[in-house]
């Protein structure tokens, strides 16, 4: 058993916000937890600290400990522990590539830290949220959160966290090919980390500098930095960092033409990635090994590594789809609870209108059914997409009789699969968009009908419910989300359309996008938030602005664009 004196000392350290890895490692923390029998806020802090330390060793464990911490903190009404727990879960999901679930948890954490007015917690959440947006290649949002974190860390005089944020900013600028800005931020980060002797930060700065120079085809300089990073990762037992460095070094050798070394480090990266269960790095490593085999004209290896690459890519896709479904289920659960509370309040104040209230509840249940149908549709779509991929790849392998043909068809298969996925995702989102607006309109009509015969007190509550529905029908917000999905599939559609017809307004650009999707009048009206008759008028005016002749249909013309 741990001595009482040592336990008191460790608990004191745990209770302070500046606990570092140098003070307590994972084994020590777990030993303390096993010997600490009280169910209180200190247990929450222990669970959170173990979860946070785990994310560079085993992110799955981060999720597990974070969930336990949140559950206990909620039971104890310990807001600080609850906020940190959500952050632990968010970072763990980011490390595993589960970006949607990670973002949900980090936004919960951010809201709690704002409620507590915890400036350091807010800054750390802004940094972590930026990581997720950067991983999703939404660089403008990533930089917005990063610079918000920079401002907070400067105010708090936390140069250690400031340096970490500089690393992330440099990484984004590298991805945007802004090499000079990337180098400046990465050097600033490395200088601070070296002065603090923060090994993990030094390793990260060297890794990002290595990637920067490899991207500029300065391979020798890039490899120098990458090997420095690898050495430190192995020294501090950062297994996720080691896997990343092996992949980066292997691909640097591959790009420079050193195939022998490329294979050595990619194979090492495969072993390290399996150890930390990182499907993201395994996917990239198998792609690199496939490209290497093509250069060596070893077509049996090409097929083997392509199979592994496609399997890992499909697995990541399935996880992302499962995460989207889980996200939808969580939203449904929250909405269902809110509706249930509203129904109870109405029932207490208006027993005589019970029949009408039940009618409203039936409509709400209908919304849940629609959402469940959408979830089912997503599952079916995923299965169909997998079947199409399997069939396409099987046929491609049968037809590969010559080396050059094999290389071309492998690349075409990947591009086609990516396009099909984006089209499926856009179609799914559009159907969900239309169904949501139709159901919300039916709910609004039902509320207005009930309001006519309701008492003043109930009428006031129904007015509040109506405002909630109106907020849900925020067409502009939905349109921005829709536009992101649409432009991901039909790149430069709006840019090319605007260049040819500069007089087109925003509403006309929206209409062109919906015509491109071949939606009918009713579906178009649901998305634009107008009547079907107004859609007909808008189409007529659009034809005139596009100078279409009588024998040209609007749909045929729009389909030729993009």
List, for residues 226-265, the tens digit of each pLDDT value: 999 999 999 988 888 888 899 999 999 999 999 999 999 9
Biggest CA-to-CA distance, the chain: 91
Is 540 part of a structural domain of the chain? Answer: yes
Among 8-12, 139-143, 267-271, 339-343, the range of highest mean pLDDT: 139-143
Q: Can you give the three-state secondary structure of 11-53, one letter per residue?
A: HHHHCCCCCCCCCCCHHHHHHHHHCCCCCCHHHHHHHHHHHHH
- The answer to whether the beta carbons of residues 528 and 535 sit under 8 Å apart is yes
Whether the per-residue pLDDT at 471 is higher than 80: the answer is no
Q: Which two tokens stand for residue 397?
A: 């392998």
Q: What is the DSSP track for 72-90? A: HHHHHT-HHHHHHHHHHHH
Report the predicted TM-score, pTM, of the whole model to 2 decimal places: 0.51
Whether the per-residue pLDDT at 456 is higher than 80: the answer is no
3-state secondary structure at position 179: helix
* The total number of residues written for the chain in this structure: 562
How far out from the chain centre does Cα 125 lie?
A: 15
Compare 334 and 374 and report the one with higher pLDDT.
374
- The answer to whether the beta carbons of residues 493 and 513 sit under 8 Å apart is yes
Average pLDDT value for residue range 369-382: 70
- The answer to whether the beta carbons of residues 548 and 554 sit under 8 Å apart is yes
Average pLDDT value for residue range 309-334: 65
Q: Which pLDDT belongs to residue 454?
A: 75
Query: C-alpha angle 520/485/307, rounded to 5°?
Result: 115
How far out from the chain centre does Cα 253 lie?
A: 30
Is 503 part of a structural domain of the chain? Answer: yes
- The answer to whether the beta carbons of residues 200 and 238 sit under 8 Å apart is yes
Q: Which pLDDT belongs to residue 165?
A: 95
Burial letters for 355-378: b for 16+ Cβ neighbours within 10 Å, e otherwise? ebbeebbeebeebeeebeebbeeb
Q: Which pLDDT belongs to residue 386?
A: 73
Q: Which pLDDT belongs to residue 369?
A: 67
Quote the percentage of the chain above a pLDDT of 70: 75
Among 142-151, 310-319, 521-530, the range of highest mean pLDDT: 142-151
Q: Which pLDDT belongs to residue 188?
A: 95
Mean pLDDT computed over every residue of the chain: 81
Q: Which pLDDT belongs to residue 436?
A: 66
Is 333 part of a structural domain of the chain? Answer: no
List, for residues 494-539, the tens digit of each pLDDT value: 888 888 899 988 888 888 988 888 888 888 888 777 888 998 999 9
Worst-scoring range by mean pLDDT, 123-132, 311-320, 524-533?
Answer: 311-320
Is 499 part of a structural domain of the chain? Answer: yes
**Residue span of the structural domain in which 498 resides:** 490-562
Q: Which pLDDT belongs to residue 336?
A: 55
First-to-final CA distance of the chain: 71
Separation of alpha carbons 157 and 145, rounded Å: 18
- The answer to whether the beta carbons of residues 298 and 307 sit under 8 Å apart is no
Is 253 part of a structural domain of the chain? Answer: no
The H helix count followed by the E strand count for the chain is 25, 0
Task: Tell me the CATH number at 549.
Answer: 1.10.10.10
Whether the per-residue pLDDT at 90 is higher than 90: the answer is yes
pLDDT class of 332 with cuts at 50, 70, 90: low
Q: Which pLDDT belongs to residue 14?
A: 46
Query: Within 10 A of 490 (CB to CB), how many other CB atoms are there?
Result: 18
Residue 528 Ramachandran class (φ > 0 left, ψ -120 to 50 alpha, else beta): alpha
Worst-scoring range by mean pLDDT, 187-196, 396-405, 483-492?
Answer: 396-405
Q: Which pLDDT belongs to residue 118?
A: 95
Closest by alpha carbon to 253, among 241, 242, 275, 269? 269
Separation of alpha carbons 406 and 501, rounded Å: 42
- For residue 264, the surrounding DSSP H or E stretch is helix 259-276
pLDDT class of 56 with cuts at 50, 70, 90: low
Worst-scoring range by mean pLDDT, 51-55, 145-149, 382-386?
Answer: 382-386
Average pLDDT value for residue range 196-211: 93
Average pLDDT value for residue range 198-222: 93
How many domains does the chain contain in total?
1
- The answer to whether the beta carbons of residues 7 and 24 sit under 8 Å apart is no
Cα-based distances in Å from 426 to 100, 402, 506: 17, 36, 20
Is 534 part of a structural domain of the chain? Answer: yes
List, for residues 402-431, the tens digit of each pLDDT value: 656 666 666 676 666 665 656 656 666 665
Residue 270 Ramachandran class (φ > 0 left, ψ -120 to 50 alpha, else beta): alpha
Whether the per-residue pLDDT at 201 is higher than 50: the answer is yes
Q: Which two tokens stand for residue 163?
A: 């340096």
Is 191 part of a structural domain of the chain? Answer: no
Could you say which DSSP state residue 552 is in? S
Q: Which pLDDT belongs to residue 559?
A: 86
- The answer to whether the beta carbons of residues 249 and 223 sit under 8 Å apart is yes
Side-chain-side CA neighbours of residue 490 (13 Å): 21
Average pLDDT value for residue range 59-71: 89
Worst-scoring range by mean pLDDT, 270-284, 376-390, 406-420?
Answer: 406-420
Q: Which pLDDT belongs to residue 404?
A: 60
- 413 CB-near residues (< 8 Å, 6+ apart): 392, 393, 396
3-state secondary structure at position 178: coil
Compare 391 and 31 and report the one with higher pLDDT.
31
Whether the per-residue pLDDT at 8 is higher than 90: the answer is no
pLDDT class of 84 with cuts at 50, 70, 90: very high
Is 259 part of a structural domain of the chain? Answer: no
- 140 CB-near residues (< 8 Å, 6+ apart): none
């Amino acid at each position: 058993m741990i001595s009482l004196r040592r336990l008191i000392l460790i608990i004191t350290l745990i209770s302070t916000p500046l606990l570092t890895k140098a003070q307590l490692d994972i084994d020590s923390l777990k030993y303390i937890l096993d010997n600490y029998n009280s169910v209180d806020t200190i247990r929450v802090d222990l669970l959170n600290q173990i979860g946070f330390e785990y994310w560079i060793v085993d992110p799955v464990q981060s999720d597990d400990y974070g969930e336990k911490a949140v559950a206990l903190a909620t039971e104890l009404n310990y807001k600080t522990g609850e906020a940190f727990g959500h952050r632990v879960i968010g970072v763990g999901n980011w490390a595993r590539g589960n970006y949607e679930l990670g973002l949900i948890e980090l936004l919960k954490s951010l809201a709690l830290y704002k409620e507590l007015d915890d400036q350091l917690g807010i800054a750390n959440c802004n940094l972590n949220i930026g990581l997720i947006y950067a991983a999703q290649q939404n660089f403008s949002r990533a930089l917005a959160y990063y610079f918000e974190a920079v401002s907070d860390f400067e105010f708090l005089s936390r140069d250690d966290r400031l340096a970490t944020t500089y690393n992330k900013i440099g990484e984004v600028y590298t991805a945007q090919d802004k090499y000079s800005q990337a180098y400046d931020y990465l050097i600033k980060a490395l200088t601070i980390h070296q002065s603090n002797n923060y090994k993990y930060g030094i390793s990260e700065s060297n890794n990002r500098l290595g990637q920067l120079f490899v991207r500029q085809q300065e391979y020798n300089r890039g490899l120098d930095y990458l090997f420095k990073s690898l050495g430190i990762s192995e020294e501090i037992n950062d297994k996720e960092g080691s896997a990343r460095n092996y992949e980066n070094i292997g691909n640097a050798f591959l790009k420079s033409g050193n195939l022998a070394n490329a294979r050595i480090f990619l194979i090492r990266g495969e072993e390290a990635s399996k150890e930390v269960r990182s499907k993201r790095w395994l996917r990239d490593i198998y792609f690199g090994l496939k490209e290497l085999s093509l250069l060596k004209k070893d077509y049996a290896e090409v097929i083997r590594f392509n199979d592994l690459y496609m399997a890992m890519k499909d697995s990541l896709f399935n996880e992302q789809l499962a995460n989207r479904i889980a996200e939808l289920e969580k939203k449904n659960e929250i909405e269902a609870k809110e509706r249930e509370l509203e129904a109870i309040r109405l029932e207490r104040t208006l027993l005589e209108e019970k029949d009408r209230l039940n009618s409203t509840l039936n409509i709400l249940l209908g919304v849940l059914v629609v959402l469940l149908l959408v979830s089912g549709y997503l599952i079916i779509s995923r299965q169909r997409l997998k079947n199409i991929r399997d069939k396409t790849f099987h046929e491609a392998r049968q037809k590969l009789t010559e080396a050059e043909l094999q290389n071309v068809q492998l690349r075409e298969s990947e591009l086609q699969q990516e396009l099909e996925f984006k089209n499926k995702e856009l179609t799914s989102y559009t159907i969900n968009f239309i169904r949501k607006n139709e159901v919300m309109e039916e709910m609004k009509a039902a509320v207005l009908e009930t309001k006519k015969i309701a008492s003043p007190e109930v009428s006031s509550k129904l007015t509040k419910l109506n405002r909630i529905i109106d907020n849900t029908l925020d067409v502009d917000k939905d349109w921005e989300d829709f536009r992101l999905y649409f432009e991901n599939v039909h790149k430069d559609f709006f840019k090319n359309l605007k260049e040819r017809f500069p007089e087109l307004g925003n509403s006309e650009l929206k209409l062109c996008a919906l015509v491109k999707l071949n939606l009918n009048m009713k579906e178009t009206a649901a998305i634009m938030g107008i009547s079907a008759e107004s859609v007909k008028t808008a189409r007529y005016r659009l034809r005139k602005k596009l100078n279409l002749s009588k024998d040209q249909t609007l749909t045929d013309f729009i389909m030729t664009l993009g």
